[in-house]
Amino acid sequence: MNRLIDVHAHLLPPELPDMKALTGGSGWISLDTNADGRVTMRQDEHVFRTVEPECCCADRRREFNDAHGVDVQVVSTVPVLFSDFAPASEALHLHQFLNDHFAEVQHRHPDHFVALGTVPLQEPQMAVQELRRIAEIGLVGVQIGTQAGGRELDDLQFDPFWEACVQLDLPILIHPWNMLGSERMGRHWLQWLVGMPSETALAVASMMLGGVFEKHPDLRVCFAHGGGAFPFILGRVDHGFRMRPDLVATKSQSLPSSLMGRFWVDSGVHDDDALRFLVDRIGSDRVCAGSDAPFPLGEAVPGESVIQSQQLTQDERQRILWDNALAFLGDRARGRLQNHFSHA
């Protein structure tokens, strides 16, 4: 029987602080519970999204996961709550509220949920302070966006954040948000279908070519949605590196493909051929099962695409469903999940 760690799933608290009242600003998310138990997320007067009850209730999520064979789920916030539009001093209040909620979820479900915290990355020094608090309250890592405050992830201002993640032994899930070209993608749900994988590809390329993985070799990073479009464009990036090093190889002297073993990706590609390609391109030890639960673009049943794949060996399946997640998450998560190892 397959054991499963789902490294990419989202969870909201039942309610959020009234950030508009606290700050006097706009753009903040609020939650309204409907009569049917579903929850409407509002951004000022606009409906952002309506979610199912298990998005905001850890107990309901646990029941669903138990019924569908999910042993461990790594939960993180919804990216719209990154709130990097706001001053970091204001956003910090929301990030701390979310982190405290995740610590409570871990405490109530110690053998099932492990949580990634969130930080106001638009101000890296403040993010580092909250990162240290994340470690103190027992969260196992952190989730960030693909950019923050209009700066790409290879910006030198983020170096203290990467250094702190290594020092504190906190892995990082990088999730696309503030998608590039969004002004052209207002139809057909294109921001989510095309914008997200494009945004993630930009983040991977920026970190590679910007020398982040070379400067911080012990950094543990996982990119959501199979690394977006990047695995498919790797050959093009390599070719550009070789042919125009004057433009491409300005900060990193490593061929991009030589850095593919420096990070993980999740399995969320929604296609068996694409999953096979991803494993071949990234490595069978660098792909982790990730459902993107509980949203429509995620898997209805976490891990199903990996378990039912016709193109993976059983050894590859075992790595993707369990082993690789443990390697990415590290000792903090392993320490919280000792009961699972006692039954291995």
Residue 32 lies in a domain: no
Residue 31 lies in a domain: no
Residue 44 lies in a domain: no
Per-residue pLDDT band at 336 (split at 50, 70, 90): confident
Residue 47 lies in a domain: no
Per-residue pLDDT band at 341 (split at 50, 70, 90): low
Within its chain, how far is the Cα of 295 from the centroid?
Answer: 14
- Closest C-alpha among 233, 293, 284 to residue 75: 293
pLDDT tens for each residue of 162-207: 999 999 999 999 999 999 999 999 999 999 999 999 999 999 999 9
Number of separate domains in the chain: 1
Residue 186 lies in a domain: yes
The whole-number pLDDT of residue 342 equals 58
**Integer Cα distance of 292 and 197 in angstroms:** 14
What range does the domain containing 213 cover?
Answer: 5-12+56-342
The whole-number pLDDT of residue 340 equals 78
208: domain CATH number is 3.20.20.140
Per-residue pLDDT band at 152 (split at 50, 70, 90): very high
Within its chain, how far is the Cα of 3 from the centroid?
Answer: 21
Q: Is pLDDT of 344 > 60?
A: no
Residue type, 134: I
**Integer Cα distance of 335 and 344 in angstroms:** 15
**Integer Cα distance of 232 and 265 in angstroms:** 13
Q: What integer is the mean pLDDT of 59-79?
A: 97
The whole-number pLDDT of residue 45 equals 86
- Closest C-alpha among 200, 19, 178 to residue 95: 19
Residue 104 lies in a domain: yes
Antiparallel, parallel or unpaired: β 113-117 and 72-76: parallel
Residue 258 lies in a domain: yes
User: Above pLDDT 70, what percent of the chain?
Assistant: 99
Q: What integer is the mean pLDDT of 142-169?
A: 98
**Integer Cα distance of 251 and 234 in angstroms:** 18
The count of residues in the chain is: 344
**Integer Cα distance of 154 and 107 in angstroms:** 35
Residue 30 lies in a domain: no
Distances (CA, A) of 2 to 29, 73, 154, 287: 38, 15, 38, 16
**Integer Cα distance of 87 and 197 in angstroms:** 27
pLDDT tens for each residue of 266-325: 999 999 999 999 999 999 999 999 999 999 999 999 999 999 999 999 999 999 999 999
Handedness of CA 73, 166, 198, 239 (dihedral sign): negative
The whole-number pLDDT of residue 343 equals 52
Whole-structure pTM value: 0.97
- Closest C-alpha among 101, 95, 98 to residue 123: 95
Q: Is pLDDT of 4 > 70?
A: yes
Mean pLDDT, the chain, whole residue set: 96
